[in-house]
Structure 1
């Protein structure tokens, strides 16, 4: 019980620190969102009118007062669930803007993360079990090489080759002709548009799981309990799955939970390249437009998602591995 209480306490303290940093960091950015919007409306070469800037600031509801007063107002707004209006998509509330982008990111990045984890741990476990063979060398060296390739570069290659040259897949957007809704036509159209972004993410996403699982399982294969299992005459399949792979999988649980928690952040570069209507592209727009309410809320969602996922992983770790609870006591 002490183990779980300490983990929950750390979660609450980290959450408060994250909320505070989420308030401070956007306000450290140079520039004024009201000036950015007035400049867009007036034109790049037009001199800004201070009265127009003040009017825009009042219309956007930009925070005023001291930093402490803004912080107190920020905490009160969070307690009410009021995240303000988006500067970029004025006058729509931030929650409505994010609500339209979340399903796209959850489907695209969430599915690719799950597939990457399953593919990665499977290949890593088999490569460790077949270590020093040709399969192990191909997987290890191939993963190391592919891991050096940036995802946005892969996305650009896919977009050019399969989008513009061959014309097999759409080059932008999340859907085209189908009417949005839970119908077969729209789902098929959305899946068709998500092929290239998903492949761009899946090329490099399993690399960390492959190398991490392989290295951990190789160390576990040298433990005494593996020798004892083999001495008992257990089949290789049982030794590999129930003894070596099961224990090697435990460190990956935390990493997988954090990866799932970070799904809400999407992939800024990949989603921007394909103009995919997800959270990553939304964050890029919020940064470029100094949209403080939208940026703060996006960062808060990501932070809370990662913290909650990490807390769940810690609690599961205590359940799956009794040694963690004994070490805490």
Structure 2
């Protein structure tokens, strides 16, 4: 048990340090963007005014409200202080709505879309890779290369391809939004059915770009394990192939756990692009609106939430890896 404690303690420390660095970057990088977002808000608020003094007062009031007239280090200390209270500030773009309120609604759309899609893609990819290594034939020469080709497409390319064929050309699925534009969110069969209907294209666009990479990794590890000495010796002893293969694929799965952690990192990059292409009401669409409007608090909130999600997912995989692979404990006890 001592080995596990050392392993998990080291992992947690590194993830906490990573989070601290991420908080600093989440605050600093949006504020390096050119332009003044408060000017746009002041212009909207003073629309119709002709008195320049009144317009200037409106601008100064918004500058004071958002606190951007203070030195950067003072803003950062206030930002960190507010974080401990769960306060991410007020959005510039959606003023007077708070960032926490906006993210509370969009984060669940992202989690419910991307996490199942990545897990399904990882699961299907591993099955395909194992079958291609063991059975070979058409699985190895046709089906696997097809999925490998699809996985090498950029996320936005796959999203646009599915949108065109299944949304525009065949008209099987809607091309945008997370539910019908004429519906309000509620717990009803009509609304749930609409959500599932709109869910299909974004979901499968993420699944298809995940399968190939996982499949090729599983295939390579399975071939390596199938040619290992313990497999040859077990077959020589007459042990049933079904029992041997069970251990082969179990050993081959260990590196794939790391692959799952890396796949979860796509929530920061490509998978969010799918949300933007389909105007899905998740973090991707919210982040795009924030960047377009130079909304510092909302950009910081989105990137911070995404970072925390990825760190938690990776830490969970690291903990799972420690239990699955006994060599981790052995290495820590040496």
Preserved contact between residue 121 and residue 210 of structure 2 (Cα < 8 Å): yes
Give the equivalent residue in structure 1 for 2:127.
122
Structure 2 residue corresponding to 1:28, chosen from 28, 32, 43: 32
2:18 counterpart residue number: 14
> Residue 6 and residue 20 in structure 1: after superposition, are their counterparts in 2 closer, same or farther (change >3 A)?
same
Match of 1:56 among 62, 66, 87: 62
Residue 245 of structure 1 corresponds to 249
Where do residues 1-329 of structure 1 align in structure 2 (5 Å cutoff)?
A: 1-38=5-42, 53-59=59-65, 61-131=66-136, 133-176=137-180, 177-240=182-245, 242-260=246-264, 263=267, 267-329=271-333
Ranges in structure 1 where 5+ consecutive residues have no aligned partner:
none
Please give the secondary structure, in 2, of the residue aligned with 1:86: coil
CA distance in 2, matches of 1:197, 1:320: 32
Alpha-carbon separation, structure 1, partners of 2:169 and 2:143:
30
Tell whether the 8 Å contact from 1:105 to 1:266 is kept in structure 2 after alignment. Answer: no
By how many angstroms is 1:281 displaced?
Answer: 0.7
Is the CA contact 2:155–2:270 (under 8 Å) kept in the aligned structure 1? Answer: no
Q: Is the 8 A contact 1:35 1:53 kept in 2?
A: yes
Q: Deviations over 1:124-170 (max 9, x none)?
A: 11112234x33212134223322332232232233233323333322
* Pairs aligned (count): 322
The 8 Å contact of residues 205 and 274 in structure 2, kept in 1 or not, is answered as yes
Question: Is 1:266–1:280's contact at 8 Å kept on the other side of the alignment?
Answer: no
TM-aligned CA deviation for residue 321 of structure 1: 1.1
How far 1:6 moved relative to its partner? 1.4
Q: What CA deviation, in whole Å up to 9, does each residue of 1:272-328 have, x standing for no partner? A: 222111111111111111111111111111111222222222222222112112223
Deviation at 1:76, TM superposition (A): 0.9
Secondary structure, counterpart of 1:205 in structure 2: helix
Structure 1 Cα separation of the partners of residues 68 and 46 of structure 2 = 23
Instruction: Calculate the aligned-residue CA RMSD, in Å.
Output: 2.5
Structure 2: unaligned runs, 5 residues or longer: none
TM score, norm. by length of structure 2: 0.87
Bigger mean CA deviation after superposition, 66-75 or 82-91: 66-75
